[in-house]
Amino acid sequence: MAVTMHDVAQRAGVSIKTVSNVVNGYPYIRAATKERVEAAIEELGYRVNMSARNLRTRRTGLITLAVPELSLPYFAELADAVISAADAAGWTVLIEQTSASRERETEVLSGRRRHLTDGLIFSPLALGPDDIGLFTVDFPLVILGERVFGAPADHVTMNNVAAAKAATLHLASLGRRRIAVIGAHEGEQVGSAALRTEGYREGLAEAGLPFDPALVGEAGLWHRSTGAETMSRMLDDGVEIDAVFALNDALALGALHALHAHRIDVPGQVALIGFDDVDDARYSVPALSSVDPGRDQIAHTAVELLLERIGATGDPAPFRRVVPDSRIVGRESTGEDGEVVGVQQGGTEQVAVDMTWA
C-alpha cells in the first residue's frame, strides 16, 4: 500500500494541511513542525504525489522533445544535444518519437499529454504548411525544421539553400562536372529535400554547369538503405558521374557503400559530400565530407527560446526565427583532411505571423 499524506500527518501528529504546506515549501511553518513532518516522510518513505502537486504549482521541470526517428543519427545526436543544453539549465527532457506519422504528430500538439511537461520542442516531418492551424497552441512551443514556416511559435531552422549551394559549389571547385544529387523528392514543395535540391540547382547554375535530370536520384526516406539503393540504381543505369551530393549523411553513407560495391574509388573517381555532419561521418571509410548545419547551436537555441517562453510573464515577446551558421567540412571523401572549407552565415529575425491561418 502506498503511503498517503494522511499517514504522514498521523505519524507527525499534525494536520494534513500542515503536511501539505511542508511538502509544497510553504514558508511560514515552525522549524520544529517542519522537522517532525520531514522525519515522518523519511520514516514512512512517503512520496509526493506529483500529479496532485502539479495541479497546484503548474510547473513540472520537464520539457518534451518530439522527433521523427531516433534511429536516424541526426535526430539521436540532436536529442543528445537538447538533453545536454536543458540539463545545464536544470531541466529534464522527455523524448517522443513520432515515426513521421501524421497521427502521432497531431497527438503531440493536441495537448492530451501537455500537462506532463512545461513546453515542447517539435521537429515535424509529416505535418506541413496546410496544418499550420494545429501549431496554434496554448503552451510554449519551439518548432524545428523546414516543414512549417509562419506558425505562431519560435522556430529554429537551417541554412538549407545556402549550405546546399555551397556544398555543390565546393564539388565544382574540385573540378567535378557531373554532380549527382541523392535524396530528392520530386514534386514536393516544402521541407529539407525541396530546399536542399534548390540549393543544388543554384550551385550548378553559379558554377556554369547544366542541370541534368539524369543526375537527380530520388530517395523518399533518407536512410542508409535508400542511399545505397539509389546510388546502385544510378550506377547500374550507367549514369556518368564524378561527384555526389547526398541530402543527408545516412544517404551518403549508403551511397558510399554502393560505390564501394561497384569498385568505384572515392574520391578518385567520385567525390562525395553529405549533410548533417553526424558522428559516423568522421569514422566512415573514407571519412565523409559533410555540411555541419550547426546542430549544437540548434539544440541550445531551441532550449533557450523555450525556457524563455516558459518563464515569460506579461506581454508575449514576438516570435523569432533563428538560423545557425553552417559549415562545409572537407574530409577524405572529397580529398581533404577535416578542415572547414566554407561557412554560411545564419541569423535571427522576428517572425511576422500571419494569424489569418489560425
Peptide bond into 140 cis (omega under 30): no
Distance CA 284, CA 133 (A): 42
Q: How far is the CB of 89 from a copy of itself (least distance, A)?
A: 15
Q: How far is the CB of 351 from a copy of itself (least distance, A)?
A: 24
Q: Which is nearer to a copy of itself, 128 or 286 (CB)?
A: 286
Q: Which is nearer to a copy of itself, 132 or 252 (CB)?
A: 252
Q: 196: which DSSP letter?
A: H
Q: How far is the CB of 260 from a copy of itself (least distance, A)?
A: 4
Q: Which is nearer to a copy of itself, 19 or 252 (CB)?
A: 252
Q: What is the 3-state secondary structure (H, E, C) of 71-95?
A: CCHHHHHHHHHHHHHHHHCCCEEEE
Q: How far is the CB of 111 from a copy of itself (least distance, A)?
A: 5
Contacts with a copy of itself by CB under 8 A lie at 2, 47-52, 54-55, 62, 69-71, 73, 76-77, 79-80, 83, 87, 92-97, 99, 111-113, 115-116, 138, 223-225, 228, 253-254, 256-257, 260, 279-280, 282-287
Kindly tell me the sign of the dihedral angle through the C-alpha atoms of 65, 67, 70, 76.
negative
Q: Which is nearer to a copy of itself, 36 or 223 (CB)?
A: 223
Distances (CA, A) of 61 to 190, 301, 309: 34, 18, 14
Which cell goes with 71? 534511429
Q: How far is the CB of 229 from a copy of itself (least distance, A)?
A: 11
Q: Which is nearer to a copy of itself, 55 or 317 (CB)?
A: 55
Q: What is the largest CA-CA distance in the chain?
A: 86
Distance CA 232, CA 134 (A): 40
Cβ contact 207:168 at 8 Å? yes
Q: How far is the CB of 133 from a copy of itself (least distance, A)?
A: 12
Distance CA 331, CA 328 (A): 10
Q: Which is nearer to a copy of itself, 173 or 225 (CB)?
A: 225
